[in-house]
Structure 1
Amino acid sequence: MQTRRTFIQAAGGGALASLLPLAASAQALDQVKIYYGFPAGSAGDSVARRIGEKVAGSAYSRNVAVVDNRPGAGGRIALEVLKSAPADGSVLALSPFSCTSIYPHVYSKLSYDANKDFAAVSIGAVMHHGLAVGPKVPTSVVTVRDFLAWAKANPQEANYGSPAAGSTPHFIGALLGLTANVDLRHVPYRGSVPGITDVVGGQIAAMVTPSGDFLANHRAGKLRMIATSGRQRSPFSPEVPTFAEQGFAELTTEEWFGFYAPAQTPAAAIARANAAVNAAVKERAVIDSLGVVGLIARGSTANEMAMSQQAEFERWGPLVKRIGFTAES
C-alpha cells in the first residue's frame, strides 16, 4: 500500500506544479505521441484523437498529437509500450481505468505496475455502461427486475455478452446475477460490435457494454436498453433509468479514460500536459464529438485521477474476488 501512497503523492506533486506559471516552464514540445490500446474508430480512440488535435498550439505541444493504436490484450499493450517510453512528456498513453485498477486483481502477472511505472496526467472522458436486451427477450421485459425474472424462468436462454472477459461490463453482469441469485451465463466477445450484432439478431439475450455503443440500435428500436450504470441517467439516453434507480446501487460505475505518462516524467511536463487536456475538454467541438459516441468530456487534476484510480482499485478487489474470476479461470 505504501507504493500506492507514493504514487498518489507523486501525482499530487504534478497537480501542484500545474499552478506554476506556464511561462516559467520549458519550451513547448514540437509534437507528442499518444498510445491507445484499442482499435482506431473505437470510443476511446475518439478521446485520444479529439483531445490530441486540441493540444496543438498550447504550452504543451506546438502541433497536433500523433495517436498510435496498439490494440490487443485488453488494452495492456499500449501501457507496456508506455513503460519504456521517453519520460520527457513527449509520450502519453490513454487507458480506461480497468487496465490499472481492475487488471491487477484479474491477472496474477502483469508486465507493468501502475503505481511504479506510470504517472497520472488527467482524466479525459467518462462513460456509462448499459444493459440492453434484444428480440430473444419478450417486449414485456422493460426493467432489470423483469429481465431477471425472465432469465430465472428461462435458464437455457439466460445469457449476456460483454466486450471482453475480465472487462468492467463482464463484471457488472456477473454481479447482477450474483446479487439476484440468477445464473446469467457470460458470453465474451472481442469488442462491443459483434456482441451487439448478436443481440440484435437474437443469438443472445442481452449485453452489457458502454451505453454509447447501444445508442443507434436503441433509438432504432432494434434492441432495448433497460439500465445504465452512472450515478445519474446518461445525458444521451435520459429515458433509461440507472441500475441504482432500480434497486441495484452496487452496479453504479462511471468508467473513465485517463492519460498517463512514464513514471519519471518531470512534474512540470505533466503540468503542461494536464493544462492542455483540461483546456481541450472544455471546447464545444470536443464535447460534441465525444457525445456522438456516448462519452462525457471531463478533465481532472493529476491528483484527482490518481485518487480515483486508487479508489477503484480498492473497490473492485473484493468484487472480483466475489465473482471468482481470474485470467486463468
Structure 2
Amino acid sequence: MTNHFSRRDFMLATASLGAAGLPFSAHAQSGYPDRPIRVVVPFAPGGDGDIMARYWAKAAQPLSGYTLVIDNKAGAGGAIGAIEVARAKPDGYTLLLGTSTTQIVNPLASAKPQYDGLKDFTMVSMVSANPTCVVVHPSLPVNSLKELVALARAQPGKLSYGSAGAGTITNLTGELFKYVGGKLNITHVAYRGGGPAMADVIAGHLQMGTPIMSSAVLAHHRAGRIRILAINSPKRLKAAPDIATAVEAGFDEMQVLVFNALFAPAGTPRPALDALRNLGKKVLADASFVADVEKAGAELLILNDQDKFMRDEMARWSRLIKEMDFKIEA
C-alpha cells in the first residue's frame, strides 16, 4: 500500500501515539482509563494490520483523550501476539488488533491451538475489512478463474501461488481456490509477508498470488504488472467496479473477507468495554479515518451484531477448513 502515501512518513507521524499522547482530561476523572492502553499488533510494522491499527489510534486519540500505545508482537502468523492478549489481565488496558488470520484461521487450523478465537476475546470495534483476490502474472494466458482452472488441470503441478505465509488468510485463499476448482494441483509457496509474495508475482517468479485487495494491488493491476482475475467478495468493490467477483464467475464459496478489528481479553469489565465500543463508533464515523481507510484500498464494515458476525465467520470457516483438510503444523 505504498503507492498512495509514504509509509515512512506515516510511521514517523504515528510512532509517538503512546509516548506523547493527549491528556486524559475527563476520562481520568471517571476512573477509566487512568493509564495508557496498549494495542498489540501481532504483525511487523508497516503491514496492512499495523497501518490500520495506527489509523484507528490516530483518529481515536483526539476523539477521546486516551493514550494509545502500538506494540508490535510479530510471529507465528500472528499467534504470538494473540496468545499474549488472550492471557493478559482483562482490565481494558490491553487490546489486540485481531484479523481473520489470528481470530479464525489460526485457532481452527493449528495442530495445537493455544487459544480460542471466540471464547478468549471480546470484539471492541471493527477497524476495516477487505476481500482477498486471485492475481496472475500477465504472461499467464488466462483472463478468468475458469480459464485458470482449465490451465491448472492441463498442467498439474506446474503452477505455483505465493501467500503471506503458511496459515495466513492468503494461504487459506489459495487452498480454497484449489479446493473449489476441483482439488487442483497447484504448489503453495509461503513468504514472510504479502509484500515479498507480490513482488515475486510481479517479477514473474510466481505465476499466481492470492493477496488481500488493496490500493497497491489495484495499482499494479492498472499498470499491467499483474492481472486480477477476480475479487473474492459477494459484490464488486467501489474502488474497482470493473473487476468481477469470484461469485460472478460461478465460484460461490470463494468469499474471503479479511477483517481488522480490536479485541479485548474475555472478562474485560463492562464499563471499559462500553467506553471502548463507544469510542469505536465515533472512530468509524470520523471523516479523516474513513478517508485514510479508503485511501489504503480498504472499506468500512459496520456491524449491528459483532458477536454474531464472529460466530458466523467461525462456523463457515470451520466447515470449509474441515472439508479442505487445511492444517497448520506446529
Q: Which residue is 1:44 aligned to?
A: 49
Structure 1 unaligned blocks of 5 or more: 1-21
Q: Among 257, 275, 280, which residue is 1:277 paired with?
A: 280
How far has the Cα of 1:208 moved from its partner? Answer: 0.4
How far has the Cα of 1:58 moved from its partner? Answer: 4.2
Separation (CA, whole Å) in 1 of partners of 2:320 and 2:90: 34
- Using a 3 Å threshold, how does the CA distance of structure 1 residues 257 and 207 change in structure 2: closer, same or farther? same
Residue 269 of structure 1 aligns with an amino acid whose one-letter code is: A
How far has the Cα of 1:222 moved from its partner? Answer: 0.4
Separation (CA, whole Å) in 2 of partners of 1:247 and 1:172: 16
Superimposed CA distance per residue, residues 1-31 of structure 1 (whole angstroms, 9 cap, x where no aligned partner): xxxxxxxxxxxxxxxxxxxxx9x96454443
Superimposed CA distance per residue, residues 275-303 of structure 1 (whole angstroms, 9 cap, x where no aligned partner): 112211222221121223221133446xx
Q: Among 216, 220, 226, which residue is 1:217 paired with?
A: 220
How far has the Cα of 1:48 moved from its partner? Answer: 0.8
TM-score by structure 1 length? Answer: 0.85
Contact 2:59 2:288 survives alignment (8 Å): no
Matched, 1:31 2:31: no
How far has the Cα of 1:325 moved from its partner? Answer: 2.3
Q: Among 72, 76, 83, which residue is 1:73 paired with?
A: 76
Matched, 1:91 2:94: yes
Q: How does 1:216-235 map to 2 (within 5 A)?
A: 216-235=219-238
Contact 2:157 2:185 survives alignment (8 Å): no
How far has the Cα of 1:152 moved from its partner? Answer: 2.3
Matched, 1:120 2:123: yes
Question: Residue 210 of structure 2 aligns to a residue in which SS?
Answer: strand
Structure with higher helix content: 1
Separation (CA, whole Å) in 2 of partners of 1:25 and 1:237: 45
Contact 1:101 1:310 survives alignment (8 Å): no
Q: Which residue is 1:143 aligned to?
A: 144
Q: How does 1:232-271 map to 2 (within 5 A)?
A: 232-271=235-274
Q: Which residue is 1:165 aligned to?
A: 166
Q: Which residue is 2:199 aligned to?
A: 197
* Paired residues, number: 302
Residue range with higher mean Cα deviation, 66-75 or 277-286: 277-286
State the identity as a percent.
Answer: 27
- Using a 3 Å threshold, how does the CA distance of structure 1 residues 25 and 114 change in structure 2: closer, same or farther? farther
Coordinate RMSD, CA, aligned: 2.2
Question: Residue 312 of structure 2 aligns to a residue in which SS?
Answer: helix
Contact 1:152 1:183 survives alignment (8 Å): yes
Separation (CA, whole Å) in 2 of partners of 1:113 and 1:284: 34
Q: Which residue is 2:85 aligned to?
A: 82
Contact 1:102 1:312 survives alignment (8 Å): no
Matched, 1:103 2:106: yes
Q: Which residue is 2:187 aligned to?
A: 185
Superimposed CA distance per residue, residues 196-217 of structure 1 (whole angstroms, 9 cap, x where no aligned partner): 1111111111100101151231
Contact 1:132 1:208 survives alignment (8 Å): yes
Q: How does 1:270-309 map to 2 (within 5 A)?
A: 270-300=273-303, 304-309=305-310
Question: Residue 93 of structure 1 aligns to a residue in which SS?
Answer: strand
Superimposed CA distance per residue, residues 122-143 of structure 1 (whole angstroms, 9 cap, x where no aligned partner): 21111110111103412xx211
TM-score by structure 2 length? Answer: 0.84
Contact 2:35 2:67 survives alignment (8 Å): no
Separation (CA, whole Å) in 2 of partners of 1:79 and 1:281: 23
- Using a 3 Å threshold, how does the CA distance of structure 1 residues 116 and 149 change in structure 2: closer, same or farther? closer
